[in-house]
Amino acid sequence: MESEIVERVAVVMRQAEIWWAVAGGWAIDLWLGEQTREHHDIEVVIQRDDQTAVWDSLHNGWELSCIDPPNSGWSPWRRSKRIESPSFQLRARDPSLEFDLFLESTSEDTWTFRRDGRVRRSIDELITTRSGVPIVDPAVQLLYMAKSEEPKNQHDFEVVCPVLDDASAEWLRSALALAHPGHAWLAQL
């Protein structure tokens, strides 16, 4: 599957020369190999420790902003301002492109779910590649989507669940049981 906006973001992120991946609904559709719904934005995940490298790569010609502290609204993101947990959301905008960057908590070779530190996964299993673009693994992406009952998240679960392999479905079931006990998706996994 090809998408102009995904490819444009990929070109920008490759220049930063860091670990990154497309997230959100675009990650789901890239994994499936077809666009299954409309997308109002595009998100990219990076490691929290790479935020300065991203700022250095993008600061010329880009408007960079952050939400820090959480729920405070967008404010300018300065190189000297390290974004610490629980804050995680950055935005890059130029005259023709805008995308969000989400800071992921990692240590050595392990990723930790920002909403529940008991949920962890090898960083090597956090992303996969489709059409030459790194994407967040669909089981991990669905875990993030599980927080909200928005129709788009339910749609993404319904199109992915039937094609998840057994190991991914079991990982998602276990992660949901920890982070969102009683979630409706548990019965379907």
pLDDT of 107-151, one tens digit each?
Answer: 989 999 999 999 999 999 999 998 889 999 999 999 999 999 999
Mean predicted confidence (pLDDT) in 86-102: 96
Of 21, 62, 59, 28, the residue nearest 43 (C-alpha):
21
Q: In this predicted structure, what is the pLDDT of residue 50? A: 97
Q: Cβ(106)–Cβ(48) under 8 Å? A: yes
Can you give the pLDDT at residue 1? Answer: 74
Mean pLDDT of 16-42: 96
Q: Which of 1-5, 18-22, 90-94 has the lowest mean pLDDT?
A: 1-5
pLDDT at 47 over 90: yes
Q: How far apart are CA 51 and CA 92, in angstroms?
A: 12
Q: How confident is the model at residue 2 (pLDDT cuts 50, 70, 90)?
A: confident
Which has more pLDDT, 189 or 130? 189
Residue-level pLDDT at 131: 82
Looking at domain 4-137, its CATH class is alpha beta
Q: Residue 22: what pLDDT?
A: 98
Give the model confidence (pLDDT) of 69-78 as tens digits: 999 999 999 9
Integer Cα distance of 66 and 91 in angstroms: 6
The confidence score (pLDDT) of residue 108 equals 86
